């Protein structure tokens, strides 16, 4: 078996133990005589998988009972629309803080449903920092404030949880959910596509405070309505069963590792290893303000971009995959999600050093 060290931004590397369990259970899930892909979502076997996954997620993230957990489809991109459809609640506008392309896309989509107020943006500085919350131009009458705690393309991450008072805070946590403990009660709604820290693509997790749902805009399709989804335990229609099952295994894996505290320490060490190296030399460079650097996605450029193709070719030969930067910013990007090991990051740093030594 030749598995690569996979730095892809998503879909992304999964814990080997989880993949091995999926393999072991693939043909016959625990004596059911069938794979999870072949089960009715209404049968007790799948219902037990679904409930256990939710319970484990609630436990790991310490999600209070007055929050609903939804297992949806359509990716985070669908949530760019579902959020305003559900959370405008008769109000006219929402605040968006732009710290990267994903937040900008979310704001653009929200503009189809209501007025969008850009409360702060670092676009003019190519999204290399998070505007100080003290400078945000928040509207006290906004329906909600939307942030992207980790911008996957630009490698910018919030290391604080901003206080938006009585206005609910909505967070697209697609690329840093489950990377460390958070205080769920500071958020009105959290959403995340699964394909980074949760499991396979096709599943989107929504964690929403109960009092915010039930006032979807007229014309909102039932399947996009958080209240209808919550009332039907995310089974208004056939859910992404297999992705839900694998996500459940990932939640168990996180518990076995010791929970989000342990995961967070590991993630901090992994990121420090790479950033310390980046800051120690001038062959490679990361443009993000130090205090706002992402622990999950580390973009970097080579001083001489003509070497990019060679860098990637050598990386591939060394078993390092998925390092090409996003097409909109170029350069490289190493994604260090939960399933990436410290040894994997060390292998990357060793390769980068050797490449710089021979080409620098
Ligand atoms: N938001 C963030 C922060 C992302 O990283 C991504 C995907 N990379 C998206 C939204 C879009 O997610 P999806 O492809 O699941 O719609």
Active site residue 102: yes
Domain with CATH 3.40.640.10 in the chain: 16-257
> Would you say 308 is a known binding-site residue?
no
Task: Choose the catalytic residue: 56, 95, 102, 227.
Answer: 102
Pocket test for ligand 1, best of 109, 193, 297 (most atoms within 8 A of CB): 193
Tell how far CA 357 is from the center of its chain.
34
Q: For residue 359, report the distance from its CA to the centre of ligand 1, in Å.
A: 35
Q: How far is the CA of 36 from the centre of ligand 1 (A)?
A: 26
Give the sign of the dihedral formed by CA 245, CA 247, CA 251, CA 253. positive
Whole-number Å distance between alpha carbons of 86 and 295? 31
Of 273, 83, 76, 86, the closest CA to residue 177 belongs to 76
ipTM for the whole complex: 0.99
Ligand 1, closest atom to CA 75?
15
Query: 117 C-alpha vs ligand 1 centroid, how far in Å?
Result: 22
Is 175's C-beta closer than 6 angstroms to any atom of ligand 1?
yes
- List per-residue pLDDT tens for the chain, 360 residues long: 789 999 999 999 999 999 999 999 999 999 999 999 999 999 999 999 999 999 999 999 999 999 999 999 999 999 999 999 999 999 999 999 999 999 999 999 999 999 999 999 999 999 999 999 999 999 999 999 999 999 999 999 999 999 999 999 999 999 999 999 999 999 999 999 999 999 999 999 999 999 999 999 999 999 999 999 999 999 999 999 999 999 999 999 999 999 999 999 999 999 999 999 999 999 999 999 999 999 999 999 999 999 999 999 999 999 999 999 998 889 999 999 999 999 999 999 999 999 999 998
Q: List the strands of the sheet with 115-121, edge to edge.
A: 67-72, 204-209, 189-193, 169-172, 145-147, 93-98, 115-121
Give yes or no for residue 193 CB within 6 A of ligand 1: yes
Only one residue has tokens 């790991």, namely: 60
* Confidence at residue 360, expressed as pLDDT on a 0 to 100 scale: 81
Atom of ligand 1 nearest to the CA of 204: 15
Which of 68, 104, 196, 324 is an active site residue? 196
**Comparing C-alpha atoms, which of 313, 302, 317 is closest to residue 360?**
302
Measured between alpha carbons, how far is 146 from 190 in angstroms, rounded to an integer? 10
What's the CA gap between 258 and 267, in Å, rounded? 13
Task: Using the atom order of ligand 1, give the atom closest to the CA of residue 74.
Answer: 16
Q: Is there a binding annotation on residue 237?
A: yes
Provide the pLDDT for residue 2: 87
DSSP E strands in 163-314: the ranges are 169-172, 189-193, 204-209, 284-285, 297-302
Question: Within 10 Å of residue 211's Cβ, how many Cβ atoms?
Answer: 10
Q: Where are the beta strands (DSSP E) in 277-340?
A: 284-285, 297-302, 320-321, 332-335
Decide whether any atom of ligand 1 lies within 6 Å of the 10 Cβ: yes
Q: Which two tokens stand for residue 67?
A: 């929050």
Helical (H) or strand (E) element with 107: helix 101-110
In the residue annotation, 172 being an active-site residue is answered as yes
Written as six digits, the tokens of 256 are 């076995």
* 172 assigned ligand-binding residue: yes
Which residue spans of the chain are classified as CATH 3.90.1150.10? Answer: 258-359
Which class is domain 16-257? Answer: alpha beta
- What single-letter DSSP state applies at residue 135? G
164 is in an annotated binding site: no
Under 8 Å between Cβ of 261 and 182: no
For the record, the structure tokens of 86 come out as: 């559900």
Q: Which of 278, 313, 311 is nearest to 294 (CA)?
A: 278
The verdict on whether 310 is a catalytic residue reads: no
Those residues with Cβ within 8 angstroms of residue 87's Cβ, 6 or more apart along the chain or in another chain: 94, 143, 144, 168, 170, 188, 189, 212
The predicted model scores a pTM of 0.98
Q: Which of ligand 1's atoms lies nearest the C-alpha of 152?
A: 5
CA of 76 to the centre of ligand 1 (A): 5
Residue with CA nearest ligand 1 atom 14: 75
Q: Which of 56, 101, 172, 225 is catalytic?
A: 172
Give the closest residue to 106 by CA, choosing from 124, 86, 82, 70.
82
* Fold exhibited by the domain 258-359: 3.90.1150
Q: What are phi and psi of 292, to 5 degrees?
A: -115, 15
Q: What tokens does 318 get? A: 């060394």
Q: Is 199 helix (H, G, I), strand (E, B) or coil?
A: coil
């Amino acid at each position: 078996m030749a598995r690569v060290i996979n730095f892809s931004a998503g879909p992304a590397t999964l814990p080997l133990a989880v993949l091995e369990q999926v393999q072991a259970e693939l043909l016959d899930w625990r004596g059911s005589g069938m794979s999870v892909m072949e089960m009715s979502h209404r049968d007790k076997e799948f219902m037990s998988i679904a409930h256990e996954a939710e319970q484990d997620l609630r436990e790991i993230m310490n999600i209070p009972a007055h929050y609903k957990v939804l297992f949806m489809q359509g990716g985070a991109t669908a949530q760019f629309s579902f959020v305003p459809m559900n959370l405008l609640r008769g109000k006219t506008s929402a605040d968006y803080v732009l710290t990267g392309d994903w937040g900008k896309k979310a704001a653009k989509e929200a503009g189809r449903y209501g007025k969008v107020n850009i409360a702060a943006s670092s676009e003019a500085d190519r999204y290399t920092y998070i505007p100080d919350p003290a400078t945000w131009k928040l509207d006290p009458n906004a329906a909600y404030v939307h942030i992207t705690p980790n911008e996957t393309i630009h490698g910018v991450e919030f290391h604080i949880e901003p206080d938006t008072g009585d206005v609910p805070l909505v967070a697209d946590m697609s690329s840093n959910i489950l990377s460390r403990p958070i205080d769920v009660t500071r958020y009105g709604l959290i959403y995340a596509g699964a394909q980074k820290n949760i499991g396979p693509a096709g599943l989107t997790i929504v964690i929403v405070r109960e009092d915010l749902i039930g006032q979807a805009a007229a014309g909102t399709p039932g399947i996009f309505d958080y209240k209808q989804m919550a009332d039907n335990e995310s089974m208004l229609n056939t859910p992404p069963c297999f992705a839900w099952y694998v996500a459940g295994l990932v939640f168990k894996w996180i518990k076995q590792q010791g929970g989000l505290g342990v995961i967070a320490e590991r993630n901090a060490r992994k990121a420090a290893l790479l950033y310390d190296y980046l800051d120690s030399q001038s062959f490679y460079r990361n443009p993000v303000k130090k205090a706002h650097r992402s622990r999950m996605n580390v973009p970097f450029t080579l001083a001489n971009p003509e070497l990019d193709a060679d860098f990637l070719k050598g990386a591939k030969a060394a078993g390092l995959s998925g390092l090409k930067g996003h097409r909109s910013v170029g350069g490289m990007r190493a994604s260090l999600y939960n399933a990436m090991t410290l040894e994997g990051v060390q292998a990357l740093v060793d390769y980068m050093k050797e490449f710089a030594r021979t080409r620098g």
